[in-house]
Copies of this chain bind each other. A is one copy, B any other.
């Protein structure tokens, strides 16, 4: 018989708690990592739902500029009102023992500040991608977390997705022969007024927000860093949305092994995320490749054909991600996607923009 904390709650209600408690503590109720969620937008909502499914994680504090919203969400997740912070009072979180870690789900330009403040407060940091707006910020974040010392993980959920990991395994075990080319795109039609269109908050356009999925996937799938990278940016819709950031980006990469990659991203079209991996003995296609709801892997190699949609359901990716980071904190293990992984993407993003004549 395996009991979860939720089962325990029900048992407690039946006044059976005293009888079961010792066994639970010893066997099946490990300490949960308590998260303070900073920024209560869409992705934070999904993350919190994922955390609820993770056996080793809990939402224990909220940080928001909107007290009403925070109160409403606090009630959902049984967060005490004393564990609700705003951006000014955030540093007081140092004195909250229920908070082991923070999840940074703020606009990009606020990632560095809150990661560094969290590190100074002695809290581990799970930070959304893109890690920062500049390389210098990313370096400062890594340094602050090392100095604290606290763990720093960048929330590259795709590097934990089982079907994407299955694709990586097929690449690594040689099923596809030698990989020659990877093609990927991801984008969407952004709405006027969103913070993503504000350069000060976002740093740049779709490359920061969605292009980074293709960039990171190419690096993850090849296991290499590009030795050459360059691209073009453009604005087509002169409707006020793209006064500060670019609308479209395409870029190429060449990896040391000779693998080449071509990628595209946009804020001007619903560009469903996909990945194509072309090898000498076969190919894989992930389409969709980056959806929260699940991905779909199709492939043919060595006479085999595969057609494998993700077996799990939303918000499983966030559950797996939270589970991994909580385990890293509990067992003092380095996350698979540490700050250095985010920094590498920031360097590549900077280089793509530089090649397109944009300095960041």
Contact = CB atoms under 8 A, between A and B. Distances in A.
Contacts of A235: 258
A269 B261 contact: no
A251 B259 contact: no
A98 to B, nearest CB: 46
Interface in A267-317: 268-272, 276, 278-280, 282-283
A263 B270 CA distance: 19
Given A271-B278, A271-B283, A280-B269, A264 B234 contact: no
A18 to B, nearest CB: 59
Contact of A269 (B234, B250, B257, B283): B283
Nearest to A254: B232
Interface string A238-254: 00000000011111111
Contact of A268 (B232, B247, B252, B280): B280
A189 interface: yes
Contacts of A177: 269
A230 interface: yes
Given A269-B279, A283-B269, A183 B262 contact: yes
A278 B237 CA distance: 14
Contacts of A254: 232, 234, 250
A265 B262 CA distance: 10
A262 B237 contact: no
A132 interface: no
A181 B266 contact: yes
A268 B180 contact: yes
A335 interface: no
Given A185-B183, A269-B278, A278-B187, A234 B260 contact: yes
A189 B176 CA distance: 13
Contacts of A251: 252, 262
Given A234-B260, A249-B260, 11 more contacts: A178-B268, A180-B187, A180-B271, A181-B264, A181-B266, A181-B271, A185-B278, A228-B232, A234-B258, A250-B253, A250-B262
Interface of A: 177-178, 180-181, 183, 185, 187, 189, 228, 230-237, 247-254, 257-264, 266, 268-272, 276, 278-280, 282-283
